[in-house]
Chains A and B, each alone.
Chain A
């Protein structure tokens, strides 16, 4: 069935460092792919999404490209800030990855 496999954490990095969180998927057809984020003390919210192959989703400096050749949807940000500290979830339809906890130090 449809599923995602997400890079495990936790990930700790310094401000202005580059962040990549890997996500690969198994799916029938080309469903939409999502990244959700959960900031401390808050609920899950959509960070970005892509609806078809080769689409790039972007928001708040984060990007992810829907790559069917490698069945991947990796999340990237070139320069992280302390405010990016959160748990990030890759999702395909109603299936979520285990989440990656990211901590950014000042």
Chain B
């Protein structure tokens, strides 16, 4: 069974530029999550989708971050414009169904973003 796929693996941009990350969850998984992991910290949830609907985006900085999961499968997270403090690893995860936080999450390898 294929795992969660993410691309790109690494990205270097200058501040005020835009960047997009892509995630393809495990086939059949209804719930998809995007996390931000700053060096030395644990992952912080940015947004949670169940199928193509948003369940929780309370910690997403909506003035610069956006995410979509149009067909309930793969997802894109965008940052526009980027700030220095956005330098982090962006993790995508998926789980089979409910997304209540009671299920095991399966993580992708992450995208490491450096904003200069």
Q: Give the interface of A toward B (CB within 8 A).
A: 2, 6, 31-32, 34, 36, 42-46, 49, 51, 89, 91-99
A43-B109, A45-B107, A94-B48 given; A99·B42 CB < 8 A: yes
Q: Which residues of A contact B48 (CB under 8 A)?
A: 94
Bound state CA distance, A43 and B45, in angstroms? Answer: 16
Bound state CA distance, A42 and B41, in angstroms? Answer: 17
> How far apart are B22's CB and chain A's nearest CB, in angstroms?
16
Residue interface mask B93-114, A partner, CB < 8 A = 1:
1000000111111111110000
Q: Say yes or no: is B72 at the interface (Cβ < 8 Å to chain A).
A: no
A98–B108 CB distance below 8 A: no
Q: Which residues of A contact B41 (CB under 8 A)?
A: 98-99
Q: Which residues of B contact A91 (CB under 8 A)?
A: 42
> How far apart are A54's CB and chain B's nearest CB, in angstroms?
17
> How far apart are A69's CB and chain B's nearest CB, in angstroms?
21
> How far apart are A63's CB and chain B's nearest CB, in angstroms?
17
Q: Say yes or no: is B40 at the interface (Cβ < 8 Å to chain A).
A: yes
Q: Which residues of A contact B109 (CB under 8 A)?
A: 42-43
Number of A-B contacts (CB under 8 A): 51
Most B CB within 10 A of own CB, among A2, A6, A44, A89: A44
Bound state CA distance, A25 and B109, in angstroms? Answer: 27
Q: Which residues of B contact A92 (CB under 8 A)?
A: 101
The size of the chain B interface, using a CB distance under 8 A, is: 24
29 contacts between A and B (CB under 8 A): A6-B42, A31-B101, A31-B102, A32-B102, A32-B103, A43-B4, A43-B108, A43-B109, A43-B110, A44-B43, A44-B93, A46-B104, A46-B106, A49-B104, A51-B102, A89-B42, A89-B43, A92-B101, A93-B100, A93-B101, A94-B33, A94-B101, A95-B45, A96-B43, A96-B44, A97-B42, A98-B42, A99-B41, A99-B42
Q: Which residues of B contact A2 (CB under 8 A)?
A: 101
Q: Which residues of A contact B88 (CB under 8 A)?
A: none
> How far apart are A100's CB and chain B's nearest CB, in angstroms?
10
Q: Which residues of B contact A43 (CB under 8 A)?
A: 3-4, 91, 107-110
